[in-house]
Amino acid sequence: MAFRLDTLWSKITLVCLLPLLWVIIDITFDNLGPDPIQTLHIRLGDWAMRFLWLTLLVTPVQTITKWPGMADYRQMLGLYAFFYATLHVIVYLLVDHGLMWQIIAVDILESSYIWFGLIAYLIIIALAISSPKWAKKRMGKQWKKLHRLIYIASLAVIIHYYWQLKGNMAEPLFYLIIIILLLAFRVAVWFKNRKFIKMMIPTTRRIKVVSVVKALNPELSIDLQGPVIKELIIQEVEPD
Ligand code: HEM
């Protein structure tokens, strides 16, 4: 498939790669400040987190705009979260610790905030591997269950982020507000759907009863709220 620059898809792809380009330029021109490894680490971690928030933003936007094609963008943004998180982890393992596994193990054991980064990363890996359409088809209902773990990953990332913070709290506070709003939206939709399903149950039952009665006597005209139906429903709920 040819890469065409005039599609929204390719434009978003290029925009998502800009933070990486910016990092490469800063490395090339030695522009990463007095502690380049830490700056690199922080920049990649920040972008992984921002893409995770953008991924979570897709469903509310889709619910509000009713644009079905948004699911593809959710997958793309999720994969970018995985991509930047992987670079963040590579910098930690390779650049920061030179793949010295004993030192890495001690660091992980001593720094509780890294456990949460690790939990988040393991979940993000599972979500990225299972993100292609064929995997979704193959996994059926399990796919949705697995992909709900994105909320656990988000909470783990928030803890990972806040636990090691130092200095200016303006940006972290902004992220916290965004993530609370995103999660609140999901909870509200969940409650609304549950209420809706509960409201649906009596109606479905009534319709089933009507179809049974109609099947027995097709000429019978039935009022849904009428006494015959109410009686049948009572009999169905409380059999004597
Ligand atoms: C095995 C997994 C991970 C390890 C070992 C790890 C390690 C670290 C370390 C050592 C720091 C402190 C950087 C410093 O101040 O020098 C850090 C910060 C951070 N990490 Fe991770 N991390 C992991 C996973 C993740 C994931 C999955 C995300 C996001 C999706 C993430 C996002 C961040 C963010 C946003 C920061 C703070 C940057 C800032 O101060 O602005 N990390 N991580």
The phi-psi region of residue 191 (left if phi > 0; otherwise alpha if psi is between -120 and 50; otherwise beta) is alpha
Over residues 182-210, the mean pLDDT reads 68
Say yes or no to pLDDT of 214 above 70.
Answer: no
Which residues have C-beta within 8 Å of that of residue 43, sequence separation ≥ 6?
A: 19, 23
Q: Report in angstroms the alpha-carbon separations of 128 from 149, 202, 213, 224.
A: 12, 40, 51, 49
For residue 206, the one-letter residue type is R
Helices (H) and strands (E) in the chain, counts: 10, 0
Cα(137) to ligand 1 centroid in Å equals 33
pLDDT in tens, 48-100: 999 999 999 998 888 888 887 788 899 999 999 999 999 999 999 999 999 99
Residue 30 CA to ligand 1 center (angstroms) comes to 22
CA distance 107 to 113: 10
Residue 152's nearest CA partner among 177, 174, 178, 119 is 119
Ligand 1 atom closest to the Cα of residue 81 is 30
Half-sphere exposure of 18 (CA within 13 A, CB side): 8
Any ligand 1 atom below 6 A from CB of 57: no
Q: What is the pLDDT of residue 42?
A: 94
Beta carbon of 158 within 6 Å of any ligand 1 atom: no
pTM score, whole prediction: 0.80
User: If you take atom 14 of ligand 1, which residue's CA is the nearest one?
Assistant: 38
Q: Which atom of ligand 1 is nearest to the CA of 42?
A: 38
Give Rg (Cα) of the chain.
Answer: 26
> CB atoms < 10 A from the CB of 69, how many?
9
- The b/e string for 121-131 (b: 16+ C-beta within 10 A; e otherwise) is bebbeebbebb
Per residue in 140-187, pLDDT (tens digit) is 999 999 999 999 999 999 999 988 887 777 888 888 888 888 888 888
Atom nearest to 96 CA in ligand 1: 10
The pLDDT mean for the chain works out to: 84
